């Protein structure tokens, strides 16, 4: 989960509710309170480090995972290379794992 100071309370609850509804155990929640423009997200760093092959990373929306499109693409590429799936719960459709052709 990532929230900014401006939307912290509302966005935190929306993200938490969506993750719990998707079956994510709260002990696996990682959180940052930071602008999308900041470079250091210690929660995301710890989360990515904890993921193992066969795991699936669930995020509320794609913009919670990357600072910008390049960062998002690089992160997804890293996850794929490590055998980690990705599940986006809301936004412009649900994306799971690798794109289908």
Collect all residues with Cβ–Cβ distance below 8 Å to 73 and sequence separation of at least 6: 66
pLDDT tens for each residue of the chain, 101 residues long = 676 666 656 677 888 888 899 999 999 988 888 665 666 788 889 999 999 999 999 998 888 888 788 888 999 999 999 999 999 988 754 444 444 33
Query: Tokens at residue 97, please?
Result: 């794992």
Residues tagged active-site: 4
What CATH number labels 2-88? 3.40.50.1390
CA distance 94 to 101: 16
- Domain residue spans of the chain: 2-88
**pLDDT at residue 84 in the model:** 96
**pLDDT at residue 62 in the model:** 85
**pLDDT at residue 95 in the model:** 43
DSSP code per residue over 52-85: -TT-EEEESSGGGT-SSHHHHHHHHHHHHHTT-E
Query: Tokens at residue 21, please?
Result: 């509804």
């Amino acid at each position: 989960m990532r929230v900014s100071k401006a939307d912290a309370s509302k966005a935190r609850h929306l993200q938490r509710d969506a993750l719990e509804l998707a079956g994510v155990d709260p002990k696996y929640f990682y959180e940052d309170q930071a602008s999308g423009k900041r470079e250091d997200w210690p929660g995301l760093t710890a989360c990515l480090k904890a993921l193992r092959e066969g795991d699936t990373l669930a995020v509320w929306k794609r913009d919670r995972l990357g600072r910008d499109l390049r960062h998002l693409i690089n992160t997804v590429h890293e996850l794929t290379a490590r055998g980690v799936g990705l599940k986006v719960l809301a936004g412009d459709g649900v994306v799971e794992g690798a794109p289908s052709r």
